[in-house]
């Protein structure tokens, strides 16, 4: 049965329920709500499936970045089989994790503040923190996970590299700081977090240029090769967002982080609701 036919049947079922619960018949807002809900479901699933084709063919994880989008959008994709979702704001992630199914694998993709490590560690199904950029934050996250959720799996972490060397952007550039952070993850007593890979955000200019190779991604690949050889690792790469994810896949990304590609334009933070 086609998706369109299935959705029409779902609308009919919703309308039937509306009739059964109101002897006076259908109310206009019930009809509008049902039609809008089906339309949004169709849009989200189509957007996701269009993007996932690029990823499945290359064994790349598609992270659906749902920041500032309602929990209802996430639930639509969850019911479609999606489990990996990314959020940028700690409080929003906490609220959504309490509302939505426990088997969702949450990724924190925003800038990490040391004083927020405790709050993230308390979320049982936080699967990954993608933006570790200091030993101090890694220590805090490890300690907090041990204190509040020691029986839960260790939190996978990516080290954020500022491959574009932009001053306004988070991430490490200094080799000694990067080595020190990797070495902290490899210590025997670092048991509640685990090093997964490296992450970067390409510069706007490079990501929107027509060139065949993204130099920021090339630099991250070089860091992977250096660290893999130095420490005997096989680090994953998280690079590529809406504007540049296809190029990131070509250059060896293990994960792409897509928000507007799937969910459409975001509201302002003031207008967003969970």
pLDDT tens digits, one per residue of 184-203: 999 999 999 999 999 999 88
- Per-residue pLDDT at 86 exceeds 90: yes
Residue 155 domain boundaries: 58-263
Q: Per the domain annotation, does 272 fall within a domain?
A: no
Own/partner long-range contacts of 178-181 (Cβ < 8 Å, ≥24 apart) = 178/223, 178/227, 179/230, 180/135, 181/132, 181/133, 181/134, 181/135, 181/138
Residue 41: per-residue pLDDT = 95
Residue 2 has pLDDT above 60, yes or no: no
Residues 70-81 have a mean pLDDT of 97
Q: What is the pLDDT of residue 218?
A: 96
Assigned domain for 226 exists: yes
Per-residue pLDDT for 26 more than 50? no
Give domain status of residue 22, yes or no.
yes
Same domain, 19 and 89: no
Mean of the pLDDT values across residues 117-134?
98
Q: Has residue 50 been placed in a domain?
A: no
- The whole model's pTM is what? 0.86
71 with 26, same domain: the answer is: no
Residues 82 and 121 placed together within one structural domain of the fold: yes
- The answer, yes or no, to whether residue 147 has pLDDT greater than 60, is yes
pLDDT surpasses 50 at 175: yes
Residues 34 and 105 in one domain: no
From 7-11, 111-115, 199-203, the region with the lowest mean pLDDT: 7-11
What SS3 class is residue 238? strand
Q: Note the pLDDT of residue 272.
A: 80
List, in order, residues 6 or more apart from 42 with CB less than 8 Å away. Answer: 3, 4, 7
Range from 69-73, 134-138, 212-216 carrying the lowest mean pLDDT: 212-216
> What's the chain's length in residues?
274
Same domain, 163 and 238: yes
Q: What is the pLDDT of residue 22?
A: 38
Q: Are 23 and 138 within one domain? A: no
Arithmetic mean of pLDDT over the chain: 88
Q: Is the pLDDT of residue 1 over 90?
A: no
Asked if the model's pLDDT at residue 33 lies above 70, the reply is no
We report the CATH number of the domain holding residue 128 as 3.20.20.10
pLDDT band at 152 (very low <50, low <70, confident <90, very high): very high
Count structural domains, the chain. Answer: 2
């Amino acid at each position: 049965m086609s998706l369109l036919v299935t959705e029409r049947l779902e609308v009919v079922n919703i309308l039937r329920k509306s009739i059964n619960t109101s002897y006076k018949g259908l109310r206009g807002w019930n009809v509008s709500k049902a039609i809008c809900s089906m339309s949004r479901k169709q849009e989200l699933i189509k957007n996701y499936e269009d993007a996932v084709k690029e990823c499945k063919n290359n064994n790349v994880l598609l992270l659906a970045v749902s920041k500032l989008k309602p929990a209802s959008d996430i639930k639509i994709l969850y019911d479609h089989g999606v489990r990996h979702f990314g959020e940028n704001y700690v409080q929003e992630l906490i609220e959504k994790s309490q509302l939505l199914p426990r088997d969702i694998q949450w990724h924190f993709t925003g800038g990490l503040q040391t004083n927020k490590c405790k709050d993230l560690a308390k979320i049982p199904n936080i699967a990954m923190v993608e933006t570790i950029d200091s030993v101090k934050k890694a220590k805090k996250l490890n300690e907090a996970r041990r204190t509040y959720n020691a029986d839960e799996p260790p939190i996978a972490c990516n080290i954020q590299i500022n491959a574009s060397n932009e001053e306004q952007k988070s991430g490490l550039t200094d080799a000694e700081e990067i080595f020190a952070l990797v070495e902290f993850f490899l210590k025997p007593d670092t048991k509640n977090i685990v090093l997964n890979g490296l992450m970067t955000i390409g510069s706007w200019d490079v990501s929107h240029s027509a060139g065949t190779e993204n130099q920021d991604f090339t630099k991250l690949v070089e860091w992977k090769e250096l660290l893999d050889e130095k420490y005997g690792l096989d680090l994953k790469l998280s690079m590529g967002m809406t504007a540049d994810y296809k190029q990131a896949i070509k250059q060896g990304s293990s994960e792409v982080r897509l928000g507007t590609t799937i969910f459409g334009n975001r509201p302002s933070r003031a207008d967003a609701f969970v």
